[in-house]
Structures are given as C-alpha cells and as structure tokens.
Amino acid sequence: MIADLKPYAEYKESGLPWLGQVPGHWGIRRLKSHLLRNDAGVWGTAFDEQGTAVLRSTEQSVDGAWRIVHPARLLLSESQKNSALLDVGDLVVTKSSGSALHIGKTSLVTPRVAEMKCCFSNFMQRLRVSNNVSPIFAWILLNSRVAREQFVYQTTTTTGLGNLTGTILGNCTFSFPPLDEQAAIVRFLDWANGRLDRAIRAKRKVITLLNEQKQAIIHRAVTRGLDPSVPLKPSGIPWLGDIPQHWGIVRNMALFAHRVEAGVAGLPVFQVSLRSGITAEDLDQFGRPKKLITDTTKYKRIYRGDIAYNTMRMWQGAVGVSPSDGLVSPAYVVLSPRGGTCPDFYDFIFHTDIYKQQVNRQSTGIVSDRNRLYWDSFKQMPSVALPSSEQEAIVAFIYSQTSGLNAARARLEREIDLLREYRTRIVADVVTGKLDVREAAAQLPDEAAPDTSAELAGEMLDDAGNLDEVEAEET
C-alpha cells in the first residue's frame, strides 16, 4: 500500500525553500496562528517527595515519547500549579539542550499523563493547539524531520546549550491540511508505523536472543574457564559460585590502580558508551568538528589498555578498554591494569549480568537510577584471579566464538536503522503533502489500524535505545 502512494494532483509554491511545493488546498501558516497557549514551565522552589510532579526533558525520548519513571517532585505555589498544569492534548517541547538530537522533541499529553496532575519545567514550552488542528497530527508534524531540522536551525546558543523560545516556535511556518485530512494522515501513519514497529520489534527479539547467547558464552568462559575437566571449588562469593580449583579471589585493588592524571594537549577525547565501549569523540553534540580544547587539565588522562567506566552508568555496562592514549571526562574512573592483568578479560567480566548486579548494589546515590560507583567502592569488590596466559586464551576464545554473533547483530541493527530511516522519510513526505494518503487511509479496515500514535505518544519507550544519547547529554 505504501508503494502505491502518489502525489497530489495540484501543488502550489510555499515560498519556503526548505518546504518547496505543497498541495494547492493546504494552508501555509505560522504555528502561532494555530495556538491557544504558548507558555513556559515552572522552576519550583525545592524538591519534596509530596510535591507536584514536574516533567522534564529527561522524561521524553528523542522521538517524543514519554518515559516517565522518577519525575521530579517540587514545591509549587498554587498559582504556579494552575499556570503549568498539563491537560490532555497539550504538546510539551524541549527548548534547551546540549544535544541537537533533543532540541525540539515534542511529547503529547495523553489521558494517562494528564491523570498524574503534573506540570512541566521551565526548560520546556507548552503548546496548546486550536480546534482546527488535531493534537496528534501536530505531535507527528513537530517530531518530523521537516520540523526538527527547522528547530535546530533556529536555535540560539548560550553556554554550550541550544535554546528555543516561545517566539521562535510560534514563528516557525508549516503547511496545514484541512482537519478531516489531518485525521486521514494520522490514521494512515498509525497503520504504517504499526507495521514498521512490528518489523523492528521482531528484529530486536532476534538481537536479544543473540545477546543472550553471547552472554552465556562469556559468562561460562570467565567464571569456569575453557577446560571442563578442571576440578571446581567454592569461590566463597555467593553470586559467583564455583570456580576452577587453581583460580583465586582478590579485591579489584589488586588488579587495578586508580589513575588520576590531568589531561595533556594533543590527545583525542574519548567517551564511554553503553553499547560501544570507549570510542573517540570526534564531533561535538551538534555534529560539528570539535573545537580546540583550551584547558585539558579539566579532563583525565587515559593510556592505551586502561579501563574507564562512567560512575553513573557502570551498573548498566558503561565501561571499556581504551584503544589508545587519550582524554576522558572527569565523571569517569580510570583503571590502570597491574602486572598480570589482561584488561580485555576483566572488561568481559564487568559486562556480565552478575557483575553489573553487584555494581548496582555497591553504587550509592539519592535516586536509584542515578547511583554512582566510585573508586573507593569499586576497589573493594571481589574478582577472580588467574594466570595472565589463561586470561588471554579466554579472551581469544570469546572473540572467536562471538564474532559471528556480533556480525549478525550488526546486520540486524543496520536493517533496523534502514527501517527507521524509511519511517522518517514516509512521515516527512506525508505531513508535507509530497504523498496523498487520503484514499489509502479510507481503505484501511478498523481492525488493521490500531491507534499506535497514542501508544507512542504516551507509554511506549523509544525503540532506538537512547541511553547513549541521554548519557552524552548528561556527562
């Protein structure tokens, strides 16, 4: 059905180079002409467990879905609560961020969100559309490529943050179809997104199975070794169980030293990713070449073969081995392997589920999902000790046994990326009138058109796994 879509019969010039031609019967308006409200959120005076839930940009995925887990609760005056109380159909836009991926992300207030009686923070803008615009259509439009690129282009930059204002948002220009056609567009995109989402979820299930198979290989190798005939003994560590008889148990301080050296000029900056380990940060958060670092002493020095972990994300696996000398964020802990310590072997251990669970138990903080693991706690944690030659043999075995799994996962992730790119293009083409979906929407049977837009706007998590992107913004 998607392949059969055709353009409209008649077009007109929009007068906007980035928009081009639009259907002849669509209106071209500034966003503010369709808004009943365009206002900023509230600051609040203090955190309070009994206070009002105030939603922030961290409660939004990069695609504009809600992911409300631990919303901030603030003390608000009655006037603040009344002015910023969210209602069904409101659109909440992130207007300040250090990441171009997050500038302009827009979430739709669903009945479930409205029942929370929540407000929104001052780094966000509330838009309430008039009766001649469907809130769901507006949500799709504002999260489309054509809108988000316009938002990034219009941002002003202060202290490293990109900023939008209510005035900038209101002056952004879009083409708007009649209300009944907006409903047809929403209906069609519900159906198309549902099909694409099912395909993506199916591929993600396969990736999950591949990851489980890989984890099983790694877990067995790093806790039992490669020779199944070797006698086992109790490790004395309940979560670890039995280990080969010739292995020992030591504290991490016996395996690693804490490296604390100020950065020096001329070295690349690395970041620790949940999915990719340590990688070079060649571009800034807006995709531009990084500016020259003027004060490298604010960074930590890391050497090739060192291990670095993000104190706040170690429990999720944000750890890796440095491929070369470089610089890392002061929010990271740098571990220098002592003699006889193979960093790749322990990197595999640190990524096992049982070890991440122990990291989570040893991490401390006010909020559970913001707990941090500092060196003083890490150094006391137990790990297995075995000959370096055996460590290296286990690393080689793991690489040989998981290379095919890694290749299969990479292929599936590329296919998912292509499906996402296809979805982005379809949405952009439909909401700008490049494709006419009216006839296709009318032919959709009710049972084949679930209201996926409401789910995406309300309760579903982003299928892209945006922890890396959120991490980059926070650290």
Domain extents in the chain: 2-200+413-474, 248-385
pLDDT band of residue 3 (cuts 50, 70, 90) is confident
User: What are the tens digits of pLDDT across the range 357-381?
Assistant: 999 999 887 655 668 999 999 999 9
Q: Give the C-alpha distances (Å, rounded to integers) separating 451 from 89, 180, 456.
A: 15, 17, 9
pLDDT confidence of residue 368: 58
With a cut of 60, say whether residue 468 has pLDDT above it.
no
How far is 173 from 356, CA to CA, in rounded Å?
A: 48
pLDDT reading at 160 higher than 80: no
Mean pLDDT of the 414-434 span: 95
Res 294: pLDDT: 63
> Span 2-200+413-474: which CATH code?
3.90.220.20
| pLDDT for the residue 96 | 86
Per-residue confidence band for 98, with pLDDT thresholds at 50, 70 and 90: confident
- Alpha-carbon gap, residue 397 to 237, rounded angstroms: 25
pTM score over 0.85: no
Q: Tell me how far apart the alpha carbons of residues 79 and 86 are, in angstroms, rounded to a whole number.
A: 14
Instruction: Judge if 2-200+413-474 and 248-385 fold alike in CATH terms.
Output: yes
pLDDT at 473: 37
* Mean pLDDT, residues 166-178 taken together: 95
Q: Which CATH number describes the domain made up of 248-385?
A: 3.90.220.20
Six-digit token string for 200: 């993506």
454 vs 140: which has the higher pLDDT: 140
For the chain, helix, strand, coil in percent to 5 are 40, 25, 35
pLDDT for 309: 96
Average pLDDT of the chain, as a whole number? 88
Tokens 């571990």: give the residue.
335
